[in-house]
Amino acid sequence: QVQLVESGGASVQTGSSLILSCAASGFTFSSTCMGWFRQVSGKAREGIAIDHFGHTTYAESVKGRFTISRDNAKKTLYLQMSSLNPEDTGMYYCARARYDGECPLETSFFMSWGQGTQVTVSS
C-alpha cells in the first residue's frame, strides 16, 4: 500500500528556514519522480519542485530559496526552504508521479498525495 507522510511544517517568521520531509513506502521510491506541492486555502494546489532522477525543476516563486532532494536509501524526499516569506504560507504535500517518463511540475501528473504539513510564515 502506497503511503506518503509529510512532516516538518511549523509556524515561523519571515526570513526563517525549514526542512520538510516526506517518508515514502509501498512503491519503488528510487525509480519514481517525486514532487512537492503547496495549497493555500481557497486556491488550487500548485507545484513547487520536482526531482526526476536528480533533475530538478522549481516554481519561479521559490527558485534560489528552496531545494528539493532525496535519500533513496531512506525512501525520503526533502524540501529545504530558506528566506521564507508570508507568501510561502500553505499546506505542503508530497506526491509521486503518475506516469513513467515525462514528469512536469503539474498536479495532474502526480498521485498518492500525503496528508500534508502546514507551513505558516508571519511577518
% of the chain at pLDDT higher than 90: 91
% of the chain at pLDDT higher than 70: 100
- CA angle centred on 118, ends 56 and 104, rounded to 5°: 25
Does the pLDDT value for residue 100 go beyond 90?
A: no
Of 61, 63, 103, nearest in space to 86 by CA? 61
Residue range 29-69, pLDDT digits in tens: 999 999 999 999 899 999 999 999 889 999 999 999 999 99
Q: Quick one: residue 48, left, alpha or beta (phi over 0 = left, psi -120 to 50 = alpha)?
A: alpha
Burial (CB count within 10 angstroms: exposed 0-12, middle 13-18, buried 19+), residue 44: exposed
